[in-house]
Amino acid sequence: MTKEEKIRNEVITAAQGLFQQFGFDKTTMEDIAKSMGKGKSTLYYYYSSKEEILDEVKYKEVNDIFTKVKDSIDKVNSAEGKMRAYVLTMFKEVKKKINLYKIVAGEIQENYRIIHELRKNIDSIEVNILRDILVFGAKNKEFNINEKDAEGMAYLIVSSFRGMEIDLLIEKKIPKWESRVEIMLDILFKGLIK
């Protein structure tokens, strides 16, 4: 890792902690620099604005989630197991992030652009992961699906679970989300399995 990469990493880690604790709006560039033990000029050498740092923090958070999701998928050999691992790990990781960012959540709800960009990025990654699982299941004759329909099916599954994610995790409308997700997965598999 180069010196520049180390400093950029330090900035993102510091900003991540401050955003979680105080929120994006209340955190200043000076706060980030102080928490690193550096001057503001060092920060501005690497990042032109707090918004640019937020973009890097969002990228890191999304990357962290999907690293854990992919690790859980790789540990399973069946398509159904991969799908369960994907959904359950995704829900758990999103729930952790929501809990970490309670302060920021209120700010983000007011800023549609941030949510929209983040959602697009996450959806694209999720659709690709699910498409791969569906193709894997079709090739292994576990799922009754034509491989060419895998992308459309993946998009539908992501959309369905997104609604559940909002109700179960963000708005906390339904307690015991793990059992609700298992019920949804059982319904999904009854439609996919021959």
Confidence label for 91 from pLDDT (cuts 50, 70 and 90):
confident
- This model's pTM is above 0.95: no
pLDDT of residue 167: 65
pLDDT at 105 > cutoff 60: no
Q: Which residue segments constitute the domains of the chain, with CATH numbers given?
A: 1-48 (1.10.10.60), 55-192 (1.10.357.10)
Which DSSP string do the residues of 26-68 spell out, in sequence order? Answer: T--HHHHHHHHT--HHHHHHH-S-HHHHHHHHHHHHHHHHHHH
pLDDT of residue 175: 66
Mean per-residue pLDDT, 115-123:
74
Question: How many beta carbons lie within 10 A of that of residue 133, not counting itself?
Answer: 26
> What pLDDT digit, counting tens, does each position of 147-180 carry?
899 999 999 888 888 777 766 655 566 567 677 7
